[in-house]
């Protein structure tokens, strides 16, 4: 058995020459002494953190470190960001309460996902995290009853177009997004974590079996499954554009749950069991390379079999940093726009079979032309 220190060691080749440690990333992962930042440093950091919707997180870190020796204009922005983050937290807690009130009479279990789960479970990653919606997952057999209850409670479909309704209900792993008619808040109701047409198909029943209870009727995913859902969302179901926050979520979860000695040896096996080894490979690779996440070398070695072909890996190494990083550093590198488009196409290619993908993209192109 390797020692904890050895299992947490980062390989010396982790940060390749074309992926330098970014100042904003270092600050967000507490690898940078914020108190030592100059006014010029803050002038570079604040706009980039704002673009990435990570300014409240940066403000929370500054508050935790007692960073009061900042220029007054910086303090004003950090205080405003703190207020914004607290407002989002209150709004999400209220929305979770409204969902509970609407669905509790049904007697069906409800999984809180992503930001809602982090907040309900009291995880550190919830602090300063801006969320645009609340994500839940319900048993597929209860979907119709849940939909009816939410509509009766004031939510309305944000995409009333008949094509979008059919697309979501036939091919996707969630209902069309719901927006409350009064509060204008968005609720995403899932019945799985990936579309049924996806190339990877994790067993949703297995996710339910391992789920952990919160306040009734809510549950959350087990720690390993929470990490794996984040990897699937980012590297299998998402287009990666401006998703540094999601990679930071994975970084936070790995640091938190990785303190348990039993976590790391079981993570790869759980990923294989849920058909999510490839997304986990990508998540650990780029979390380690871009954020400095301490990933045990033995875990990476166990995932070698899930690695893509060398040509695909090389292409992803070129594209992902350019798209994930906010304005500055990699995102100003030549070809960021092309990288974003390529990863957008990749996300759809992984999500749909070729004929369906062609039809869907053609339909969306026609609609854009008509709208423009």
**Could you tell me which of 266, 184, 253 has the C-alpha nearest to residue 221?**
253
Task: Quick: pLDDT tens for 338-372.
Answer: 888 888 888 878 887 777 777 777 777 776 766 66
Q: What pTM did the predictor assign?
A: 0.88
In angstroms, the CA 197 to CA 227 distance is 22
Give the pLDDT of residue 220.
98
Give the pLDDT of residue 328.
54
- Give me the phi and psi of 110, to 5 degrees please: -135, 120
Give the pLDDT of residue 9.
36
Mind listing the domains of the chain with CATH numbers? 20-371 (3.30.460.40)
Beta bridge partners of 213: 219
Per-residue pLDDT tens listing for the chain (372 residues) = 333 333 333 333 333 433 446 888 988 987 667 878 888 888 888 998 998 899 999 999 888 876 656 778 888 999 999 999 999 999 999 999 999 999 999 999 999 999 999 999 999 889 999 988 999 999 999 999 999 999 999 999 987 778 888 888 888 899 999 999 999 999 999 999 999 988 899 999 999 999 999 998 999 999 999 999 999 999 987 666 658 999 999 999 999 999 998 999 899 999 999 999 999 999 999 999 999 999 999 998 999 999 999 999 999 999 998 888 876 544 455 677 888 888 888 887 888 777 777 777 777 777 676 666
Give the pLDDT of residue 296.
93
Give the pLDDT of residue 68.
55
Round to the nearest angstrom and report the end-to-end CA distance of the chain: 61
Beta bridge partners of 135: 113, 188
Give the pLDDT of residue 334.
60
Q: What is the distance, to the nearest Å, from the Cα of residue 202 to the centroid of all Cα atoms in its chain?
A: 17
Distances, alpha carbon 240 to alpha carbons 41, 43, 318, in Å: 27, 26, 13
Contact 337, 344 (CB under 8 A): no
Give the pLDDT of residue 118.
96
Q: Label each residue of 117-178 as H, E or C.
A: HHHHCCCHHHCCCCCCEEEEECCHHHHHHHHHHHHHCCEEECCCCHHHHHHHHHHCCECCCE
Q: What secondary structure does DSSP assign to 79-96, as a single string?
A: HHHHHHHHHHHHHHHHHH
Contacts of 140 by beta carbon, 8 Å cutoff, 6+ apart? 191, 192, 204
Q: What is the distance, to the nearest Å, from the Cα of residue 84 to the centroid of all Cα atoms in its chain?
A: 20
Give the pLDDT of residue 166.
86
Give the pLDDT of residue 278.
96
Task: Quick: pLDDT tens for 169-191.
Answer: 888 899 999 999 999 999 999 99
Using a 10 angstrom Cβ sphere, with 0-12 exposed, 13-18 middle and 19 or more buried, the burial of residue 136 is buried
């Amino acid at each position: 058995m390797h020692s904890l220190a050895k299992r947490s060691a980062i390989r010396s080749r982790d940060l390749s020459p074309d992926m330098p440690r970014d100042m904003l990333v270092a600050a967000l992962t507490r690898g940078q002494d914020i108190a030592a930042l100059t006014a010029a440093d803050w002038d570079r950091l604040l706009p980039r953190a704002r673009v990435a919707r990570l300014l409240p997180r940066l403000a929370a870190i500054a508050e935790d470190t007692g960073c009061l020796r900042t220029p007054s204009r910086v303090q004003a922005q950090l205080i405003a960001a703190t207020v914004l983050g607290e407002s989002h937290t209150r709004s999400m807690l209220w929305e979770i309460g409204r969902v509970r009130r609407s669905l509790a009479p049904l007697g069906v279990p409800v999984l809180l996902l992503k930001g809602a789960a982090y907040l309900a479970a009291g995880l550190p990653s919830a602090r300063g995290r801006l969320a645009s919606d609340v994500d839940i997952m319900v048993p597929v057999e209860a979907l119709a009853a849940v939909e009816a209850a939410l509509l009766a409670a004031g939510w309305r479909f944000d995409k009333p177009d008949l094509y979008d309704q059919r697309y979501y209900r036939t091919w996707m792993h969630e209902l069309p997004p719901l927006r409350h008619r009064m509060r204008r808040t968005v609720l995403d109701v899932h019945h799985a974590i990936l579309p049924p047409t996806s190339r990877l198909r994790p067993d949703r029943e297995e996710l339910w079996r391992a789920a952990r209870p919160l306040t009734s009727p809510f549950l959350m995913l087990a720690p390993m499954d929470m990490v794996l859902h984040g990897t699937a969302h980012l590297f299998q179901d998402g287009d990666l554009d401006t998703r540094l926050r999601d990679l930071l979520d994975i970084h936070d979860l790995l640091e938190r749950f990785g303190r348990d000695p039993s976590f790391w040896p079981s993570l790869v096996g759980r990923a294989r069991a849920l058909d999510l080894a490839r997304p986990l490979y990508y998540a650990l690779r780029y979390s380690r390379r871009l954020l400095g996440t301490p990933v045990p070398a033995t875990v990476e070695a166990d995932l070698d079999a899930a690695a893509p072909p060398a040509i695909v890996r090389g292409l992803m190494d070129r594209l992902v940093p350019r798209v994930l990083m906010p304005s500055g550093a990699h995102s100003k590198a030549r070809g960021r726009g092309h990288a974003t488009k390529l990863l957008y196409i990749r996300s759809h290619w992984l999500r749909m079979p070729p004929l369906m993908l062609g039809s869907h993209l053609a339909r969306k192109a026609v609609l854009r032309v008509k709208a423009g």
